[in-house]
Structure 1
């Protein structure tokens, strides 16, 4: 069985619905990625590498992880911290804004609270995924320990996957983000950037510019997402430009990139080609953006892995 660990934060989610009401759920970029991966590829062993608390919200999170088929063996529980929370406001075009309460979230202390059992369970993972948000929430003094862990995993043959997912408000300065990102590029085997990430941080506007920028790094596979129009993939000397069919009815783009990432990684872990993986991942994202919130109800997410 292929095994992937996804490092990051799951939070308590509040999203606005009709008449000023709020819907409660859970979400977070890495959690969303794990859920959609597991829904389409249930045979992949997928689990979050994170920290939660011993409170009722954490308990309900762990129950939901189990309900989604995730492996909870990489999760630690803090005695004195609880999960973070966020509120989503979505406009008429499906674009969203967020308000966060995460400064004291348990997930920020995942490296400090890492147990021997977690470290042991990481030894046999085939793929390790993290994002720019995963990095941004870590205290600065924990970044060196995190990169030591990633280096150790890579040396043991684990495939390292990074999605830059740049959120300026989470970083003290752009320079600190660049430093962490460039360490991640050095370690990455598979990179999943969006054009917008590089536009904000490096003022690069196109997939071609990003491809040129990344040429100095030894990244085996790069998947550049350019909104609803195009995905550019680079594998060795081969470049694939894959057009995406835009969705006419967009409700909420909150988890578009996360669902794409999850299904793409599940597809690649399961032996599908790059083009097959991109097309399936784009189908997943097309479903997700037609529903509100990060996680589409199971009965509405009808995508399944194509028969071999």
Structure 2
């Protein structure tokens, strides 16, 4: 396969952005805007704010007031919106965050008829082939899970051509069992994406849950067998692991309590990619990702105040 382009000046993050309900006080939730690849796009744009790289968000929204608010938020975060589909017969999804005493989160979702599920489905204005104009494309297992099976296949076929043409494909499986028809389908699609990703950014817990690996080295071995030989295995507080070597990357312990682990992996992805785009090594990029994630989990919700 051809080598990725050396100069990365345009990035597309593809997926679903939803209305987020996060706990603000007992019996009180705050409404925000979030979603896994959207969170990565927001933090990536922040990290690249003094760079000339254009970060676009690619999704489908409705024509309702909630969709208008989401679109305004996307623009407010400095993301390009010229690859966003509007579907007048659909609305965005919604989810609520629940956190326990240690900051670990769980979610409740209302997204079965979300507009994002129609992305790249005909009739559409934002066609899949338009993604080939970007230097780097990032998507996740959630992106793949919400798409109809024929569109998933089209994405896989497109991804192979994109990589062969020198594009950089980045993938995080972000496994959510309830989004998939069955575990066999989830394994098949994710294995196909690992085989195509130039950079793999999996999370240890997701991989072990989906594939039943006994430990992180078993995860690394399986990913290598699938073709994912470059990237970072995110291992939470234990720190990241370099996929190419299987070695642990030393990171300082986090100071202070974990308030909310929502978007920990998403922000890690952003920190890693910003450093990668700046030309740094995977090790330094992993440290940058870990540092950003450590900051983000000190606040409630997915999108937190800027570090500046």
CA-CA distance at 1:222 after TM superposition: 2.2
Q: Distance in 2 between matches of 1:132 and 1:167?
A: 8
Q: Could you tell me whether the CA contact under 8 Å between 1:73 and 1:118 is conserved in 2?
A: no
Root-mean-square deviation (CA, aligned residues, Å) is 1.7
SS at match of 1:281: helix
Q: Distance in 1 between matches of 2:304 and 2:256?
A: 18
Relative to 1, partners in 2 of residues 1:114 and 1:51: Cα closer, same or farther, differing over 3 Å?
farther
CA-CA distance at 1:239 after TM superposition: 4.6
Q: Could you tell me whether the CA contact under 8 Å between 2:84 and 2:126 is conserved in 1?
A: no
Q: How does 1:297-308 map to 2 (within 5 A)?
A: 297-298=305-306, 301-302=307-308
Relative to 1, partners in 2 of residues 1:123 and 1:171: Cα closer, same or farther, differing over 3 Å?
closer
The answer to whether the aligner puts 1:124 opposite 2:133 as a matched pair is yes
Which one is further off, 130-139 or 151-160? 151-160
Q: Could you tell me whether the CA contact under 8 Å between 1:51 and 1:113 is conserved in 2?
A: no
| Corresponding residue of 2:10 | 3
Q: Could you tell me whether the CA contact under 8 Å between 2:195 and 2:227 is conserved in 1?
A: yes
Q: Distance in 2 between matches of 1:136 and 1:103?
A: 11
CA-CA distance at 1:121 after TM superposition: 4.2
Q: Could you tell me whether the CA contact under 8 Å between 2:97 and 2:107 is conserved in 1?
A: yes
| Corresponding residue of 1:276 | 284
CA-CA distance at 1:142 after TM superposition: 2.2
Q: Distance in 2 between matches of 1:142 and 1:115?
A: 12
The answer to whether the aligner puts 1:227 opposite 2:236 as a matched pair is yes
Q: Could you tell me whether the CA contact under 8 Å between 1:81 and 1:106 is conserved in 2?
A: yes
Q: Could you tell me whether the CA contact under 8 Å between 2:129 and 2:158 is conserved in 1?
A: no
Q: Distance in 2 between matches of 1:192 and 1:159?
A: 13
Q: How does 1:258-277 map to 2 (within 5 A)?
A: 258-277=266-285
Structure 2 unmatched runs, 5+:
1-7
The answer to whether the aligner puts 1:22 opposite 2:29 as a matched pair is yes
Relative to 1, partners in 2 of residues 1:75 and 1:207: Cα closer, same or farther, differing over 3 Å?
same
Q: Distance in 2 between matches of 1:296 and 1:62?
A: 18
Relative to 1, partners in 2 of residues 1:10 and 1:37: Cα closer, same or farther, differing over 3 Å?
same
Q: How does 1:286-297 map to 2 (within 5 A)?
A: 286-297=294-305
Q: Distance in 2 between matches of 1:210 and 1:114?
A: 39
Aligned residues: 298
Relative to 1, partners in 2 of residues 1:173 and 1:145: Cα closer, same or farther, differing over 3 Å?
same
Q: Distance in 1 between matches of 2:31 and 2:255?
A: 26
| Corresponding residue of 2:100 | 91
State the TM-score, normalizing by the size of structure 2.
0.91
Q: Distance in 1 between matches of 2:101 and 2:266?
A: 21
| Corresponding residue of 2:5 | none
Q: Distance in 2 between matches of 1:145 and 1:297?
A: 37
Q: Could you tell me whether the CA contact under 8 Å between 1:84 and 1:106 is conserved in 2?
A: yes
